[in-house]
Structure 1
C-alpha cells in the first residue's frame, strides 16, 4: 500500500474512532510525524505537478461582417446575394491541460482542446513555454497526443495505472488549469466506473469522479494515490458551467492503447470485433436461461471480421472478455478498443445453454473492398462528386457505422453538378433508378445507362433521402 495512502487512511480511521467514542489504540493510529498529522496530499502533488502542463491554443476564425447591403430593404428587392461580402478575421483563444507521458516531450490531452488550432503553446510548471505539434489525433476517443522539442532534456513524466484495477471509492486527485487561473489540485473519490458521459464519443466507458473538474481541466490528469494516471479528465456534467461533483475521465488503459498504436503506426488503428448486438435485459436473460441480466446478444457478424474467423455465431451471448465481465455493448466496445492489436483475446460466450470460450486475435477493421477513390464525370447528377467504396475501415474513418456498405461521397468539386444538387461528404449512394448500388463501377454503369432521368436515393445521418432529376 502506498505510504501517502497509509498516512491518510490512518488519520481518517483515528477520527472515526474518536467520533464514535471508541478508545484509540495509540500504537496503531497515533500520528508519528508532521506529515501524518497534516494528512496532506502535498508529497504526491509535488511528485505529479511537474508532469502536468497548461495548453494554450490560437485559432484564426473568419466571420462575415454586417454592412449596408445586409439591410432587409435591399435584400427584399435585390436578393440575399446583393452587394459585396465583407469578412473579418479574428483570433480565438482557448485553454486546457495535458500530461507528459514520457521524458522526451510527448503529451496526452483531449482532442477537443487542440482541434482546429493554428497555434499550440505548452507551458510547463516551471513557466517555460514551447510550441507543440499534434502527432496523434483521435476524435472518436477525444484524445490527442502532442510533441514538444526539448532538445535532449529529460522532462518529468507520469506513468499509467492499470485502470481495470480501480474500484469505486478509491481516492483520486485531479490536476489541471480550470478557468485559466493556473495549475490547480482538487481531490475526491471514484464515484462510478463504466459511465456514459453523455458526449459524442464512441467509447462510453468513463471513470466518474467527484474531484472538482471545471472548464480548462480538460486533458489534465486524474491520479491514483500512487501518483499514476488513472485517467485523462475529459468532461463534466453541469448546468452552470462549473463543477457539480460529476466529472468524467477517459480510463488509462484506453489512453495507453491509443498512444501505443498511434506512435507505432502514425495513426490511430484500433482492434475491431466485427460483431454487434443488443444488451441483455431481464426478460431476455430469462428467455435464454441466464442467471442474471448482462452481456451482449450477437445479432450481426461481418464476414471479414476477427469474430467471424474465430467462430462467433449469431445468437451467441458474449458475457466476458479476458475474464472481465461484459455488461452491455458499450463495455464490449471499450474492452476491445483498449486492447493492443495482435493480442489474442478470450471471449466468454454463452451458447445453446452452455458456457464456452472463444480465442480471437484482435485485428483492425479490414479495408475490403479497397476504397478506390475517384471523381465521377459525365452527364448525370453525380458528376463532380468524389466517391469511394465503403469498407469497415473506411466507414470507421469517416465516422460511419462499420457495417455500412456501398458507395460514399468523400467530397464534391466546387461548382460541379453534384455540388449544385446538394451532395455532401458522407452521403451514401443507396439506389439509382431502383437498382441497389454496391460499388463504384456498378454506380457508373447505372448512372450512364439512364436516359436523361435519374431517381436517386442517398442515406444521410441515418435517413434515406430521394430526389428525381431530368436533364
Structure 2
C-alpha cells in the first residue's frame, strides 16, 4: 500500500509541475531605477575568508572515588580513586584578527581541554594552531597559525552600537560549513544570565546555532562587532535569542594576552548591586539604570578616586551602563593600570571621577588555568627557589592533580623552574602528559598532569 501511495503522490506532483508555468528569470527585477538590488554579497565576499572552522580533539580525564567497602575486600593496595580517560572531538568557529601574525580569536569553551587544534580556512587549507592564552571568565581564547595569504577582520567600536542596528553572524553551525545569517541587535549590556562569569553581551536575533561559537558578528560594513558565544533555547536550537561578546571587550582582552601572556584583570574596589526601582525612589532618582555602591574597599582604586558608599555609577568612559553586572564586566575587561572615567550620581548631583585600576589578586590563579588546565584553582607566586602554591581551591583541577598549599614547583619534567615566567614558558606549549617536580616539606615528588 505504501508503494502505491508513493507512486500516486509522485504522479500528482509530476502533473502539478507540468501545469506550473516556468518562471522567467527576466521577470525578476535585477535593478530598480537603474540601481542594483541591495545585497550583502559584496561585503561578505571580503569578510567570510576571515572566519574559520576550529576542530579540536583531546582526552577528558575524570576521577571517581572508590568506596571504602571495595578497598576493604580488595586490600590496602587498591587505589583510592579510579581514573577514566575518554577521547573527545569538537567543532566551533574562529575569527582571524591579524593576518600577518596569524592571530585567531575563538571561545574558550571551544578549545578547553583540547590537545590538538586544527584550523580550517575558507580556501580549504587545514593548519594546526597554537594556543596563546585564554580568559575562561569571559570565554575568550587566542590562537595562532603560521600561514600566508590570510584575511583578517577589522574591529568596530561596539560602544557605538544601538538596538536596531543590522547584524550578520558568520560561523560553522552543526559542522555544515560556513553559514551566514542576518538580523538586528536586539539588546545591549545583557548580564545576569549565568552563562559566563563576566557578562556584557550583545543580544541578536541573527540565527546562532551549535558550532557558531567563536564565529563573527559583523555590521553591514563587515567590521567585527562581537564574537558569537551562546544561545538560549531548548535543545540548543535557534529561537532568535543569541549572544555575542562585544568587540571592545574582545580587543582589550586579546591585547593583554598578547602583551602579558594572560589577562591582568583590572579592579575598581567596590561592592554593590543593580539600581532597583525601590533604591531609585529612596534616593529620589529619575534614572533606574546603574550600579549602586554598597561598599568601597580601603586603599582601592575607587577609594583613591573619591567614590563613596551610596554613589550610583551610571557610566564608564562616557558610555552609560544598565547594571552593576555590566559595570563589573567592563572594569574587569580593562587591564590593571588602566585609567577609567566614571560618571556618578551623588545626592542627586552628577559627578565625574577618574580612577586608575588596581590588579586582581586572582590574576595568578586565572593565569595558572591558562598555562595548563590542571593547574586551574591554584594561586601561584614566585618563591626563593621555584613557584610556590599559596592556595588551592577545594575541588578544583589543581586539587585533583594532587597539589596542596605550600608545594613548590621546581621542575617541569627534567627542566628546572625558577619563577612563574619560566614555568609558563615550559608548560604553555607542551601537549599530553607533563610531570611536575614538587618540593613538599623536606621531600621531593613528581605529580603527573594529563
The answer to whether TM tops 0.5 is yes
Residues 91-116 of structure 1, C-alpha deviation per residue, up to 9 Å, x if partnerless?
31100000000112100000000000
Are residues 1:99 and 2:95 paired?
Answer: yes
CA RMSD of aligned residues (A): 3.8
Structure 1 partner of 2:44: 45
Which residue of the partner structure matches residue 348 of structure 1? 343
Q: 1:240 aligns to what SS in structure 2?
A: helix
The counterpart of 1:218, out of the listed 205, 213, 216, is 213
How many Å apart are 1:30 and its aligned residue? 3.4
Instruction: Quote the residue 1:303 is aligned against.
Output: 298
Is contact 1:305-1:366 (8 Å) kept? no
Deviations 1:40-88, CA, capped at 9 Å, x for gaps? 21111111111000000011235799xxxx9x9x969947999899977
Deviation at 1:276, TM superposition (A): 1.4
Q: What SS does structure 1 have at the residue aligned with 2:326?
A: helix
- 2-structure distance, mates of 1:323, 1:300: 23
> 2:71, 2:78 within 8 Å by CA — same for their partners in 1?
no
Q: How does 1:399-438 map to 2 (within 5 A)?
A: 411=399, 414=402
Q: For residue 130 of structure 1, what is the aligned residue in structure 2? A: 127
**1:336 aligned partner:** 331
Aligned in 2, Cα 1:340/1:82: closer, same or farther, shift over 3 Å?
closer
Runs of 4+, deviation exceeding 3 Å: 61-65, 74-90, 337-343, 370-375, 408-418
For residues 409 and 43 of structure 1, what CA distance do their matches in structure 2 show?
Answer: 47
Aligned pairs for 1:117-196 (under 5 A) are: 117-150=114-147, 153-196=148-191
Going from structure 1 to structure 2, the CA distance change for 1:211 and 1:197 (only over 3 Å counts) comes to farther
CA distance in 2, matches of 1:217, 1:412: 32
Aligned length: 355
CA gap 1:250/1:367 in 2 versus in 1, 3 angstroms: closer
1:30 paired residue among 18, 25, 32: 32
Q: TM-score, normalised by structure 2?
A: 0.70
Q: Give distance in 2, aligned partners of 1:367 and 1:217.
A: 30
Residue 61 (str. 1) matches residue 63 (str. 2) = no
Q: Deviation of residue 416 (structure 1)?
A: 9.0
Task: Give the C-alpha shift of residue 130 in structure 1.
Answer: 0.8
Residue 388 in 1 paired to residue 390 in 2?
Answer: yes
Comparing both chains, which one has the higher relative contact order based on Cα–Cα distances under 8 Å and sequence gaps of 6 or more? 2
Aligned equivalent of 1:22 = none
Task: Determine if contact 1:305/1:365 at 8 Å carries over to the other structure.
Answer: no
Match of 1:242 in 2: 237
SS in 1 for 2:56: strand
Residues 1:303 and 1:86: Cα distance change in structure 2 (over 3 Å): closer
Q: TM-score, normalised by structure 1?
A: 0.67
Deviations 1:2-55 (A, max 9, x none): xxxxxxxxxxxxxxxxxxxxxxxxxxx93434xx32x32111111111100000
Question: Are 1:316 and 2:308 counterparts?
Answer: no
Conserved 8 A contact 2:192-2:325: no
Q: Distance in 1 between matches of 2:342 and 2:296?
A: 15
- Aligned equivalent of 1:441: none
Is 1:113 matched up with 2:115?
Answer: no
Q: For residues 58 and 412 of structure 1, do their structure 2 counterparts lie closer, same or farther at Cα, with a shift above 3 Å needed?
A: closer
Deviation of residue 90 (structure 1)?
A: 4.6
